[in-house]
């Protein structure tokens, strides 16, 4: 871990500052929208626009990098992000905000692709897993830190819009000044959605629903909290608790993934999150909100990685990297649907509908998982490798790196199984005739 920090500390610092800026603007818009009198339906369009831009950016950024290079793409997108972040309070209109969020999502997607390419280039085969794990932790810590900064600011003024613009601008300095060689960039051959669905129906459907649930949290939690009348400190803690849960619970779920059949673990994880989403509707009160946020965030974050690993269990080695593009696309479509559905339901039935949408999405994963259990036998636990932690904020670069790590881990597991089988066969051949059963 010390070597990883020594070689990539600037990248980690830059990405954490970047996520602080992104986390501030995501939550702040939900609060400021309420102050400006925007409806929940209008805010759902604003929030969904980020994910639409992110999805489009994940497809377009690789081509931009091939044409003009990492540095130019990085600098251009950085300038756009910094400028956009201070334009929101200038033009308080939901349609303008939607366009700005669309641009923000596109730019952040390209920035992630560039930064993660450099991070992967700095890592060796021995340090790649630690680098990826630390990178994910920095992402989540950045978002949690952002909620603390919002709690001490004034969302009706300009300061909280200027702050993320400054942080994003600063974040690029350590990244651009510390890296030397520009990494080679290439992406894996894509796999069609039809091929992906034929290989793993639960993986595709689950990714769509999980993307919807995750985006509803990321985009609409602050909108819900504002509509529910939480004060600024309560709102900030509520939003942060989703990510605290994701950070804390990924470790026990990672442990259980080595011992429990993966489809069953997906069903249990989604079931716990769905049950938690019902608590605020039934019990009410702020403690129930925090408990629900912790469990929902703690389950839906790792659920993304579990679904990737589950899908890989039904793919050939050469298909796994190619599948990353399709999985990201499906997740992106779900991420657009989630905030839109949540905003419409909240507008029609009130703030508590935020949790109803989460419950429906997560329960649908449980129901479809149980149905798929009747259609195909599960892959035995001993024939699967431990899943690699990946968050929904990651770009295609990290997805493909995670897929490569999964292939390596699976090859190691299968090598051990073959070695054990060979040893057992050799032992049987060396046994003298007639000695068995004596």
SS3 of the chain: the string is CHHHHHHHHHHHHHHHHHHHHHHHHHHHHHHHHHHCCCCHHHHHHHHHHHHHHHHHHHHHHHHHHHHHCHHHHHHHHHHHHHHHHCCCCCCCCHHHHHHHHHHHHHHHHHHHHHHHHHHHHHCCCCCHHHHHHHHHHHHHHHHHHHHHHHHCCCCCCCHHHHHHHHHHHHHHHHHHHHCCCCCCCCCCCCCCHHHHHHHCHHHHHHHHHHHHHHHHHHHHHHHHHHHCCCCHHHHHHHHHHHHHHHHHHHHHHHHHCCCCCHHHHHHHHHHHHHHHHHHHHHHCCHHHHHHHHHHHHHHHHHHHHHHHHHHHCCCCHHHHHHHHHHHHHHHHHHHHHHHHHHHHHHHHHCCCHHHHHHHHHHHHHHHHHHHHHCCCCCCCHHHCCCCCCCCCCCCHHHHHHHHHHHHHHHHHHHHHHHHHHHHHHHHHHHCCCCCCCC
**For the chain, which residues make up each domain, given as ranges?**
2-175+189-421
Q: What is the mean pLDDT of the chain?
A: 83
User: The domain 2-175+189-421: what is its CATH number?
Assistant: 1.20.1250.20
Region 193-217: mean pLDDT is 91
Task: For 33-77, write each residue's pLDDT tens digit.
Answer: 999 999 999 999 999 999 999 888 877 877 787 787 777 787 788
Q: Which of 45-59, 183-197, 228-242 shows the lowest per-residue confidence on average (mean pLDDT)?
A: 183-197
What's the pLDDT at 438? 39
Report pLDDT for 231: 92
pLDDT of 437 reads 42
Contact 237, 336 (CB under 8 A): no
pLDDT confidence of residue 351:
92
Cβ(86)–Cβ(161) below 8 Å: yes
Task: Indicate if the pLDDT at residue 171 is higher than 50.
Answer: yes
Name the percent of the chain lying above pLDDT 90: 38
Q: What percent of the chain has pLDDT over 70?
A: 80
Is the pLDDT assigned to residue 429 strictly greater than 60? no
CB 338 within 8 A of CB 219: yes
What pLDDT does residue 297 have? Answer: 92
Predicted pLDDT of residue 243: 92
Predicted local confidence at residue 415, as pLDDT: 66
**349-398: pLDDT as tens digits:** 999 999 999 999 999 999 999 999 998 887 777 666 656 677 777 766 77
Output 29 or 435, whichever has higher pLDDT: 29
pLDDT bin (cut points 50, 70, 90) of residue 327 is: confident
Mean pLDDT of 207-223: 92
Mean pLDDT of 116-141: 73
* Tokens coding 326: 């399709």
Name the CA dihedral angle for 70, 72, 74, 75, rounded to a multiple of 10 degrees: 160
Q: Residue 24 to residues 16, 157, 311, 350: CA-CA distances in angstroms?
A: 12, 14, 33, 25
Report the sign of the C-alpha dihedral through residues 41, 46, 48, 52, in that order.
positive
Q: What is the pLDDT of residue 411?
A: 67
* Residue 433 pLDDT > 50: no
Q: What is the arithmetic mean of pLDDT over 280-303?
A: 90
């Amino acid at each position: 871990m010390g070597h990883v920090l020594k070689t990539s500390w600037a990248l980690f610092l830059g990405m954490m500052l970047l996520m602080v800026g992104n986390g501030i603007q995501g939550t702040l818009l939900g609060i400021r929208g309420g102050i400006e009198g925007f409806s929940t339906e209008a805010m759902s369009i604003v929030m969904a626009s980020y994910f639409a831009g992110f999805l489009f950016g994940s497809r377009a950024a690789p081509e931009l990098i091939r044409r003009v290079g990492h540095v130019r793409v990085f600098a251009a997108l950085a300038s756009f992000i910094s400028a956009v972040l201070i334009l929101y309070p200038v033009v308080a209109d939901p349609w303008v905000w939607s366009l700005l969020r669309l641009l923000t999502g596109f730019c952040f997607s390209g920035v992630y692709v560039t930064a993660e390419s450099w991070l992967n280039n700095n890592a060796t085969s021995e340090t790649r897993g630690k680098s990826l794990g630390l990178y994910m932790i920095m992402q989540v810590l950045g978002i949690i830190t952002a909620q603390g900064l919002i709690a001490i600011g004034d969302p009706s003024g300009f300061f909280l819009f200027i702050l993320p613009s400054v942080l994003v601008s600063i974040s690029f300095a350590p990244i651009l000044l510390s890296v030397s060689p520009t990494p080679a960039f290439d992406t894996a051959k894509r796999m069609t959605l039809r091929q992906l669905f034929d290989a793993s129906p639960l993986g595709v459907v689950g990714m769509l629903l999980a993307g919807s649930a995750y985006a509803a949290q990321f985009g609409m939690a602050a909108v819900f909290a504002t509509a529910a009348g939480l004060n600024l400190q309560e709102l900030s803690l509520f939003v942060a608790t989703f990510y605290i849960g994701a950070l804390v619970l990924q470790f026990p779920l990672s442990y259980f993934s080595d011992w429990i059949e993966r489809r069953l673990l997906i069903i249990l994880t989604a079931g716990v999150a769905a049950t938690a989403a019902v608590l605020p509707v039934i019990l009410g009160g702020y403690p129930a909100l925090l408990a629900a946020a912790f469990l929902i965030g703690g389950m839906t974050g790792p659920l993304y990685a579990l679904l990737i690993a589950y899908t890989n269990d039904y793919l050939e080695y050469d298909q796994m990297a190619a599948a990353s593009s399709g999985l990201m696309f499906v997740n992106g479509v779900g991420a657009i649907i989630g905030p839109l559905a949540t905003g419409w339901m909240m507008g029609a039935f009130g703030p508590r509908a935020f949790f109803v949408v989460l419950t429906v999405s997560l329960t649908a994963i449980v129901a479809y998982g149980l149905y798929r259990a009747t259609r195909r036998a599960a892959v035995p636990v001993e024939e699967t490798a431990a899943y690699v932690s990946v968050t929904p904020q990651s770009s295609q670069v990290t997805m493909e790196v995670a897929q490569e790590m999964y292939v390596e881990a699976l090859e190691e597991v299968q090598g051990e199984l073959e070695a054990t089988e060979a040893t057992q066969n050799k032992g049987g051949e060396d046994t003298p005739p007639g000695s068995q059963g004596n």
